[in-house]
Amino acid sequence: MHEFANRQRNKEEGKCRAREIAIAKQSTQIQTTTVKVGSSRHGARNQHRHKHFAKWILSTFPHIEKECSDSDSDGESTMHILDVAGGKGETSARLCLCHSLRVKMVDPRQADIASVYIKDVVPKLPNKWQASVYRRLEASPTFVDDLLEKRFEQLVMPFVVPNNECLDWSQQNTAASLLEAVKNASLIIGLHADGATEAIVDAALHYSKPFVVVPCCVFPNLFCNRFLSIEDTDEVGHVRTRQIPVRTHEQFCEYLLKRDSRFKQVVLPFEGRNIAIWWDGKA
């Protein structure tokens, strides 16, 4: 059963990536014929999504600067931001090394956060900040690793949550480290977390945790139990409600938003899949 689910997930990921490549090629062709040479490309505008995401997080959830700061006054706080399906780790790198916040990342693939910071984050920083980082590296070549040792941890595993039959994680085969990471999370985030997106929402609701997800792939064949209620009117004016399967990105965002009346939706300032569903964790 587990192998079948993995095959289905890989198949859906492949389809999703193929669609995105096709859309990008089509967009490039349209821009080539309608926009002057030298105009910004989609990829160039989208490459800063982690920067914009981190900036939006800090402005929307100000409590994390106190609860997750590496410079907290007592030095004993265990709260952190939980970055689910963080991939290479650029969002985590920005939050840890640019904003001095403690982060735990959950992803089944081991990430090299120090390398991502040096190669992907620093070149996008303002010139004076780049110069400051390079000076610190000259003075202490291990300073990035030293900071990450204090602020960052990765759990190399998939992100799983309670199912409908058993909502208590302690009653399932959930890793103790993952359970602790969720309970001590000041905020749970997922930027294009793919198959873990709804799992983040489930965990946030179960433990009343603030969260934000930016959905990407839908995986309709893998998650075939998702349905969206819509209303339409028949020929004689009768309004009826029917259930449709969630298959598109727009339907997935609406489905997540309708999970709870307290949830909010916002469009983030980058191109591509940029719709965020979030909750501040309050009643």
Which pLDDT does position 207 carry in this prediction? Answer: 93
| Rounded-to-integer distance, Cα 165 and Cα 163, Å | 5
**Percentage of residues of the chain with pLDDT beyond 90:** 67
Q: Are 40 and 256 in contact (CB under 8 A)?
A: no
The dihedral formed by the CA atoms of 138, 140, 141 and 146, expressed in degrees to the nearest 10 = -150
Q: What pLDDT is attached to residue 10?
A: 61
The label of the residue with tokens 């650029």 reads 90
Candidates 77, 158, 64, 122; CA nearest to 113 is: 122
Three-state SS for 69? strand
Q: Indicate the pairing of strand 227-233 with strand 103-106.
A: unpaired
pLDDT attached to residue 202 = 94
pLDDT band at 4 (very low <50, low <70, confident <90, very high): low
Average pLDDT on 169-186 reads: 78
* Mean pLDDT to the nearest integer, 176-181: 90
Among candidates 71, 70, 109, which has minimal Cα distance to 89? 109
Percent of the chain with pLDDT over 70: 77
Higher pLDDT, 234 or 34: 234
Residue-by-residue DSSP string for 233-277: E-TTS-EEEEEEE--SHHHHHHHHHTT-TT-EEEE-SSSSS-EEE
Phi, psi of 242 (to 5 degrees): -135, 160
pLDDT tens figures, 6-34: 566 666 666 565 555 554 444 434 333 33
Between helices 249-257 and 197-207, what is the axis angle to 10°? Answer: 0
Nearest C-alpha neighbor of 53 from the set 208, 267, 280: 267
Per-residue pLDDT tens over the stretch 109-153: 999 999 999 999 999 999 999 999 999 999 999 999 999 999 999
Q: Is 264:278 a contact under the CB 8 Å cutoff?
A: yes
Per-residue model confidence (pLDDT) at position 8: 62
- Which pLDDT belongs to residue 73? 47
What's the pLDDT tens digit per position in 253-276?
999 999 999 999 999 999 999 999
For 145, the enclosing helix (H) or strand (E) is helix 143-151
Q: Give me the mean pLDDT over the 85-94 stretch.
A: 96
- The single-letter code of the amino acid at 256 is L
Given pLDDT bands bounded at 50, 70 and 90, which one contains residue 158?
A: very high
C-alpha dihedral sign at 111, 195, 200, 168: negative
- pLDDT-derived band at 45, boundaries 50, 70, 90: low
Report the range of poorest mean pLDDT among 41-45, 122-126, 156-160, 207-211: 41-45
Residue 234 is predicted with a pLDDT of: 72
Mean pLDDT of the chain: 84
